Structure 1
Amino acid sequence: MPPSSAPPNFCADELQRALKEQAFGVATFAMTEATPLHAAASVTLLEECTITVSLSRAGYAVDPTTSPGMGPEAVFESLENLLQTVSPLYQRKLHSTLLQRLEKLS
């Protein structure tokens, strides 16, 4: 979608939606910045550390100053992929949540 046809709050709306979908696997989150082309949120992981997650036209990224070992070039297609990379406890919670949902179906 060309930038001129994107809704004015697209990044903020999309980041907020993605965080709500993944809320089961993080402790807390709060939006901290929103412009038409960029949005950021403070996310406290289950490991009790806080990172800054951003969304831009490039994708989802972690501010490397809040997550040692993550370079500025690390961009993810989804928030789920980002969280799986930075949070081992998120991975465990995702796995257990999926198993619980499958058990409900049987």
Structure 2
Amino acid sequence: MSKMKIRRGDRVMVIRGNHKGQEGTVLRVEPEKNRVVIEGINRRKRHMKPSQTNPEGGIVEFEAPVHASNVMLIDPSTGEPTRVRAQVGEDGTRQRVGVRSGKVIPRH
């Protein structure tokens, strides 16, 4: 398992699969499965029986996880998708850098 370069709150673009070309914000990261959940992408429907938490039951819509290799981080400075490289800053902290622009991608 490699370290994921995508974090919660990042803007990403889907580069493979049924949602190719769509953009969204990362809601949740699952590093143990190497998957991310993106707002508005890969929506699924599940039929739920009535329960105490959901007394109505019915059809519930939710975003299903997408494999991290199928998404690309969008560089905030250019607005274009880019690969990400790790770099140590002047103060000794680890930073994410967009490969295309060479600019530091800020934390959220």
TM-score range, shorter chain: under 0.3
Q: Which has the higher strand share?
A: 2
Q: Which has the higher helix share?
A: 1
Larger radius of gyration: 2
TM-score of the superposed pair, with normalisation by structure 2: 0.26
